[in-house]
């Protein structure tokens, strides 16, 4: 198998109780993540790493292979990398490409996953992460007693927004990387790193109850947008959408 997606989903959570099985749009978050990965044409296998029986059951019913994560790797201080490394060791397969997906992002577009995988496969990058453009004026604290100061701009020479340095923010939804490079670096960022820009409307990452409420409010609009895209694609693929013949030999043709 050349491309494997791993979704770490532990049972304990600090900000949102039982976060990975809370529902958005009528589906548990971990099931939504599995579904997004399974819709991606480039992903061969979907794995969920968890220490929780309920999450494991939901993941299996969604179509994922489940890896039982040791308690030591499922604490609030354990890194996501440790879960990825453990999952790869358990399945005993070293894929060409590893796709790390976080269930806390409920609106992952499988098309974005495919684009990121293809970029790594084509050699454009060693690691690709989901991101949104952030043309904003950033500020940070200065030296003690100096107040705050501009980070990405000179406040005394305020540029136009479009003239700010190019920058992006991670959405946390997914990271796609060469598996061999990840195993060597033991970290998701290595070699040449590139962002995969995603639709900022759906770039939601759930860490609080408020963010969960926001995602639930967006779910209906997201489904309507997905349906509209599917309908548009169906029309374009329909034979009836082909342009009419313009042959000069058509009967009744007049000049």
For residue 116, which of 193, 31, 34, 9 has the smallest C-alpha distance? 193
> What are the beta bridge partners of residue 23?
28
The pTM is what? Answer: 0.86
* Residue 255 domain flag: no
The confidence band for 164, taking pLDDT boundaries of 50, 70 and 90, is confident
For residue 131, which of 98, 161, 159, 168 has the smallest C-alpha distance? 168
* Residue 247 domain flag: no
CATH at residue 51: 3.90.550.10
* Residue 75 domain flag: yes
Q: Fill in the DSSP letter of residue 19.
A: G
CB 182 within 8 A of CB 101: no
- In the numeric block, which tokens belong to residue 145? 């007693």
Convert the pLDDT of each residue in 91-133 to its tens digit.
988 899 999 999 999 999 999 999 999 999 999 999 999 999 9
* Residue 7 domain flag: yes
CB 169 within 8 A of CB 152: no
Convert the pLDDT of each residue in 22-38 to its tens digit.
999 999 999 999 999 99
Give percent above pLDDT 70 in the chain: 89
For residue 29, which of 112, 105, 130 has the smallest C-alpha distance? 105
* Residue 91 domain flag: yes
DSSP alpha helices (H): ranges in 45-193?
53-62, 80-91, 110-121, 179-185
pLDDT top residue among 30 and 226? 30
Number of folded domains that form the chain: 1
Convert the pLDDT of each residue in 72-82 to its tens digit.
999 888 999 99
Convert the pLDDT of each residue in 179-190 to its tens digit.
999 999 999 999
The average pLDDT across 156-178 equals 91
CB 66 within 8 A of CB 60: yes
CB 43 within 8 A of CB 111: no
* Residue 107 domain flag: yes
* Residue 194 domain flag: yes
Residue-range definition of the domain harbouring residue 75: 3-131+169-235
* Residue 13 domain flag: yes
CA–CA separation, 48 vs 133, rounded Å?
29
- Length of the chain equals 255
Strand spans (E) along the chain: 3-8, 23-24, 27-28, 45-50, 65-68, 97-101, 127-133, 139-141, 148-150, 168-178, 193-197
Q: What is the mean pLDDT of the chain?
A: 90
């Amino acid at each position: 198998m050349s491309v494997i997606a791993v979704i770490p989903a532990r049972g304990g959570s600090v900000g949102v109780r039982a976060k990975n099985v809370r529902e958005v749009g009528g589906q548990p978050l971990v099931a939504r993540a599995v579904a997004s990965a399974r819709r991606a044409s480039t992903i061969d296998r979907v794995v969920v790493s968890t220490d929780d029986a309920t999450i494991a059951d939901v993941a299996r019913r969604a179509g994922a292979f489940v890896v039982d994560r040791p308690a030591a790797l499922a604490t609030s201080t354990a890194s996501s990398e440790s879960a990825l490394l453990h999952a790869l060791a358990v399945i005993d397969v070293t894929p060409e490409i590893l796709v790390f997906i976080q269930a806390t992002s409920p609106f992952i577009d499988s098309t974005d996953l495919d684009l990121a995988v293809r970029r790594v496969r084509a050699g454009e990058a060693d690691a690709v992460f989901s991101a949104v453009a952030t043309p904003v004026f950033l500020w940070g604290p200065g030296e003690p007693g100096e107040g705050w100061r501009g980070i990405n701009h000179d406040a005394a020479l305020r540029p136009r927004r479009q003239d700010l340095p190019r920058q992006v923010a991670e959405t946390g939804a997914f990271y796609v990387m060469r598996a061999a490079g990840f195993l060597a670096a033991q970290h998701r960022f290595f070699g040449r790193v590139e962002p995969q820009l995603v639709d900022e409307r759906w770039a939601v990452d759930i860490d609080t109850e408020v963010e969960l409420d926001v995602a639930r409010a967006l779910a209906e609009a997201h489904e309507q947008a997905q349906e509209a895209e599917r309908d548009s694609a169906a029309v374009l693929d329909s034979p009836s959408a082909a342009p009419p013949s313009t042959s000069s030999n058509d009967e009744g043709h007049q000049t």
